[in-house]
């Protein structure tokens, strides 16, 4: 259970940091750039802690898949970006892939 808490924290930090990356305007804004670097470092640290307790294939699939899907949603709701049907299908396939990997890990 603690491994998934580490993983969840890593995901939240990664999503927040990615938003800071957008705000950094190509690393031309100092504060968002610093927050991005610190946040991503913390995210990788938490991911590394999770990997001590969760298999790599499962942890990385969850971290990258959920991170990708939620970051896309943040893009839509916060940054007013549009998702094409292709993007929605792609995100759906990522989520299905994460579920399938977790089912494999449950056996």
Q: What is the pLDDT of residues 48-58, one digit of tens each?
A: 999 999 999 89
DSSP state of 54: S
- Percent of the chain at pLDDT > 70 equals 97
Q: Provide the domain limits for residue 85.
A: 2-105
HSE-up of residue 25 (Cα within 13 Å, Cβ side) = 4
The reported pLDDT for the residue numbered 106 is 56
* Total domains present in the chain: 1
Q: What is the mean pLDDT of residues 9-14?
A: 98
Residues 57-96 pLDDT 10s: 899 999 999 999 999 999 999 999 999 999 999 999 998 9
How far from each other are the two terminal CA atoms of the chain, in whole angstroms? 17
Alpha-carbon distance values, 104 to 7, 32, 74, 93, 97 (Å): 18, 39, 29, 16, 11
The reported pLDDT for the residue numbered 107 is 52
Distance CA 44, CA 40 (A): 6
């Amino acid at each position: 259970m603690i491994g998934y808490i580490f993983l969840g924290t890593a995901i939240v930090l990664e999503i927040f940091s990615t938003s800071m990356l957008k705000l950094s305007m190509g690393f031309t804004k100092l504060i968002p750039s610093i927050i991005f670097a610190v946040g991503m470092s913390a995210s990788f640290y938490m991911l590394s802690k999770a990997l001590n307790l969760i298999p790599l294939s499962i942890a990385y699939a969850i971290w990258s898949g959920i991170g990708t899907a939620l970051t896309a949603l943040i893009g839509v709701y916060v940054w007013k970006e549009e998702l094409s049907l292709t993007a929605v299908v792609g995100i759906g396939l990522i989520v299905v892939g994460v579920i399938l990997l977790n089912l494999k890990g449950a056996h």
